[in-house]
Amino acid sequence: MNLDLSKVVNGLKSVADFQFDLTLTDEFLKEINAIEASMFSMTGSVKKIEKRLMLTFDYKGVISFECHRCLAEVKLNLSSCVTRELMEQFSEDEDDQFAVIESGAIDLIPILEEDILLNLPLQILCSEGCKGICPQCGTDLNTGSCTCDDEKIDPRLEALKNLFT
């Protein structure tokens, strides 16, 4: 989704407001191992402050993942506020704080996706105390139990256990 900033860049306006509903790219959803995502709504503006262009927006949306332990579907509500300075072209000392305007427009999706990535938890769980699934029999230990742990004791541990009984 390209936001046309030509009027702001050319000085005809000092501010451009926008409201978009954006679809995240399939590549991004694959990169973050998401099952699916809702549309993301973005509301914000680009302001010209002297010679600088500042982009500010709020976003919100929902992304579904598999719980890292039990594979149940987990829906994460994501929302944040992003501020970036925009530049008309890369300079020698380019850094990540800047986003580049090309031919008077800026692509908002990479900026949105980058911020979502920064805000994702390292481990996505259906709940803090998720017990996961048994690696041996596949039972979901949140809803049932199995006897794998009892039956399969490492022989070295068994020898140790016998010392104490």
DSSP state of 108: H
Q: Show the site string, 1-30: x = touches Zn ion by CB under 5 A, - = not.
A: ------------------------------
From 26-34, 101-109, 140-148, 150-158, span contacting Zn ion (CB under 5 A)? 140-148
From 10-18, 30-38, 107-115, 143-151, span contacting Zn ion (CB under 5 A)? 143-151
From 48-56, 81-89, 91-99, 123-131, span contacting Zn ion (CB under 5 A)? 123-131
How far is residue 100 from each of residues 53, 74, 96, measured CA to CA in Å? 10, 34, 10
From 81, 136, 144, 159, residue interacting with Zn ion (rule: CB under 5 A):
136
Residue 56 to residue 43: CA distance in whole angstroms: 9
Residues near 146 by beta carbon (within 8 Å), at least 6 away in sequence: 134, 136, 137, 139
CB-CB neighbours of 146 under 10 Å: 15
Nearer to Zn ion, 45 or 139 (CB): 139
Nearer to Zn ion, 63 or 67 (CB): 67
Task: Break the chain down into helix, strand, coil percent, rounded to 5.
Answer: 20, 40, 40
Place of tokens 């041996």: 136
Pick from 13, 16, 12, 20: nearest CA to 4: 16
Q: Considering the complex, what minimum distance in angstroms separates the CB of residue 65 from Zn ion?
A: 10
63 is a contact residue toward Zn ion (CB under 5 A): no
134 is a contact residue toward Zn ion (CB under 5 A): yes
Residue 30 to residue 117: CA distance in whole angstroms: 12
From 34, 57, 69, 124, residue interacting with Zn ion (rule: CB under 5 A):
69
Q: Considering the complex, what minimum distance in angstroms separates the CB of residue 58 from Zn ion?
A: 30
70 is a contact residue toward Zn ion (CB under 5 A): yes
Binding positions for Zn ion, rule: CB under 5 A: 67, 69-70, 72, 126, 130, 134, 136-137, 139, 146, 148
